[in-house]
A and B are shown apart, each in its own frame.
Chain A
Amino acid sequence: MTTPIDCRISRRDLILTSALAGAGAALGGARNAWAQQKGLDIWWWGEQELPGLQKFVDSSIAAYKDTTVKSMLQDTAVVISQFQTAAAAGNAPDIQYLWNGIYHMESVWLGYLKAMNGLVKDDIIKASKPTILSHFGGNIYRLGWYPLPMFWCYNKVLFEKAGLDPENPPKTWDELLTACDKLKSSGVDAIGGGIQDGYWSEWYISHSLVQNLDNFGEMVQLFIGDKDFRDPKYHEHWVKLEELKTKGFLNKDMSSLELYPGIDLVVAGKLGIGQTVGTRLPADSKATGGKIGYMVMPVFGKGKLAGMPLVDMQGLGISSNAEDPAAAAAFLEFLNSPERLKAFWDTTGWLPSNTTFDASVIADESVRTMWQKWGLAPNISNITNLVPGQWYERAAIPTGQKIVAGEISGEQAGELASDVAKEWREFNTDMVDNYRKWADDLAKM
């Protein structure tokens, strides 16, 4: 039964509730309006390695009508530190450019990134191929943006001159040694590049150490102390590099050249075989009239990952500071729309990371084949993205440089790598547990 008082109170409550609801709606509307006015922030990197990306970002922002987006191109040296500092202060952008593996996983462990699953449509996440290095604790923390296929390249003209079949590059280590011998006999430097800035050393590990691994978790176990670089299986790749050095197959100026001038030697017909990255292929192929071939590193290892094409992936993520993660996710989905994928190709001349990309627009046969063999076929990610920074700087880079300079053996490189891994554990006691969980995750995938 309802009394008049009850009715009166009810009416007052109704008025009060209406007033509150109205105020709430007004405030909410104001907040939405404010959010719309504020729009999205995206901090990105990549123009440095992929000229034209700025144009793509600008055109995407101009074409996006749901909200305003402000972009900032980051400097290479501060991509991670700038984001982490801002995230700790609660001022991180909504969308952040993320390199693969540890380069964003540390931010995941610090709680600065949101999981993409549940925010971005599953089919888009899958098509963007963020790689297994973006998985942690059952979540995915990145969307793939553009791929970086990594391979060995060779000069077909030099192969022909040396009596080698330019369409059938070496597949095994023994075949490689034979090819190097013939190239050397023909009067050119057989293999190498430039290692002065260290990146050649990193790429060599990406291609070679993986050959004796059965899964990516095994790589992480080398740092947390469950495995050891002193085990011949885990430094055989450096022994192989030493072999190339002692047989005189490496170019003599390798130690004083940087990575890209080293690759230029292959393009210029002064070096038989080198290491390169997919983004160079369109230009190099054009410059040589299609005379640059590419291959998976010849196999010596016995691990399950040996002989697989290698594709690294640059990506984008959503920060935990994002006020409207759904809006950020919507913009990322927009970047993966067919029209934007085509715009990516048109502005950068390079492939977007999406398996639904219509590759028929690629005119260069070698680039299209590479996309099919590396991008769409089963491939593996870059293991050096699992490497802690300390080990990267103190072991990954110096080992290769010292072997190439003839200063240490492959076995000594293993000892150095093991010592630095131990040192890393001492310096980063708080990180070892996270790495262990990550190793467990990766071993299961």
Chain B
Amino acid sequence: MVMKSALRLQPYFYVLPLIVLLAFVFGYPIVRIFEFSFKMVRGVDGPWIGLRNYELVLSQGLFWESVLHNLQLLLAIPAMIAISLLVSILLYERLPGWKLYRIIVFIPFILAVPIIAVVMKRMFQFSGPVNEVLRWFSLDFMALDWIGSSNVALWTVMILIIWRESALGIILFLARLMSLDESILEAAKLDGATWRQRVWHIIIPQMRGVIEFFAVVSVITMLAAVFAYIFIMGGGRGGPGTATMVIELYIFNALIRTSLPGIAAAASVMLFLVSVLLIFPLFSARRRARAEEVGTQQ
């Protein structure tokens, strides 16, 4: 009886060191963040203040403005999916020079965000190359203050995000396209299906899983991984004014610049919980994408 119990527990002992390591690396900081969110922290600790940090965060206009900006960034996702789909299908069709194009479209994703953001920032300055070109074509009315105007700055950041993050979509979609059964497409061609019909009725339905996966990953990116873009393009402050402030920068400012670790922790906990909720559809989409791929290969 004892022997049987020991055998049953044996696998758990094997993974125990890893579980302990993970608990230490991830679990401890998360527990501390939850703890801090209920304290008025000065230095490294402080008194318990219940839900006061949450009340303060939720009553602050800047927090909701940051949330709104994160939600606005979600508008980039349909554009990213459309661009990624179009480019990956064109590459799949092996247009003349497609190998060179493939390298070019992958480059944004290889380069670090700060590098491309700094270059973009220069390009979009009021006296920068983008506006110079527009003026040269007598399109002065389109020469906007791309990063200096509160009305435009977030959209400029969005252009940069779409440009770079679409590269990931292209990589994923192209990989999926490469695993499609070409005989179906050949058959459709022989039956007289146009390019548009092949894309709409054969390719896209088979890519549903990977598109969903990319969409969910992109949602998480827009909500919790745009800090580098915003930090560089927004002058390190989510500017001009608060026009590009997002939740990540809100947390960074609370922790580093305004010495309010408790506030930063409360906002982090809320962002963490939203991200956790998004992980379920992510796993579900990944499962579906895998199932589709296996189905195609069989």
Interface residues of A, Cβ cutoff 8 Å to B: 77-78, 80-81, 84-85, 87-89, 106, 110, 112, 195-198, 252-258, 388-390, 392-394, 397-398, 401-402, 405, 407, 423, 426-428, 430
CB distance from B118 to the nearest CB of A (A): 11
CB distance from B254 to the nearest CB of A (A): 9
> Taking the complex as formed, is B108 at the interface, i.e. its CB lies under 8 A from any CB of chain A?
no
Tell whether, in the assembled complex, residue B56 and residue A427 are in contact, meaning their CB atoms are under 8 Å apart: yes
B residues 245-298 near A (Cβ < 8 Å) are 253, 255-260, 263
Tell whether, in the assembled complex, residue B260 and residue A196 are in contact, meaning their CB atoms are under 8 Å apart: no
Q: Which residue of B lies closest to A109 (CB)?
A: B42
Number of B residues whose C-beta is below 8 Å from A?
34
Tell whether, in the assembled complex, residue B258 and residue A407 are in contact, meaning their CB atoms are under 8 Å apart: no
Residue among A255, A389, A397, A426 with most chain B CB within 10 A? A255
CB distance from B256 to the nearest CB of A (A): 6
CB distance from B37 to the nearest CB of A (A): 14
Q: Which residues in A have their C-beta under 8 angstroms from that of B150? A: 402, 405, 407
Tell whether, in the assembled complex, residue A256 and residue B241 are in contact, meaning their CB atoms are under 8 Å apart: no
A–B pairs, 29, beta carbons within 8 Å: A84-B44, A85-B43, A87-B43, A88-B45, A89-B44, A110-B43, A112-B43, A197-B236, A198-B237, A252-B126, A253-B125, A253-B148, A255-B147, A255-B240, A256-B145, A256-B148, A257-B126, A389-B259, A390-B260, A393-B257, A393-B258, A398-B240, A398-B241, A401-B239, A401-B241, A402-B240, A405-B240, A428-B260, A430-B40
Q: Which residues in B have their C-beta under 8 angstroms from that of A88? A: 43-45
Tell whether, in the assembled complex, residue A254 and residue B43 are in contact, meaning their CB atoms are under 8 Å apart: no
Count CB-based A-B contacts (< 8 Å): 99
> Taking the complex as formed, is B235 at the interface, i.e. its CB lies under 8 A from any CB of chain A?
yes
CB distance from B271 to the nearest CB of A (A): 19
Q: Which residue of A lies closest to B150 (CB)?
A: A407
From B127, B148, B258, A390 is in contact (CB under 8 Å) with: B258
In the bound complex, what is the Cα–Cα distance between A428 and B253 (angstroms)? 15
Q: Which residues in A have their C-beta under 8 angstroms from that of B179? A: none
Q: Which residues in A have their C-beta under 8 angstroms from that of B145? A: 255-256, 405
A-B pairs, 9 with minimum CB distance: A255-B148, A256-B148, A253-B126, A197-B235, A389-B258, A88-B44, A398-B241, A88-B43, A390-B258
Interface residues of B, Cβ cutoff 8 Å to A: 40, 42-45, 56, 60, 62, 124-128, 145-150, 235-237, 239-242, 253, 255-260, 263
CB distance from B186 to the nearest CB of A (A): 52
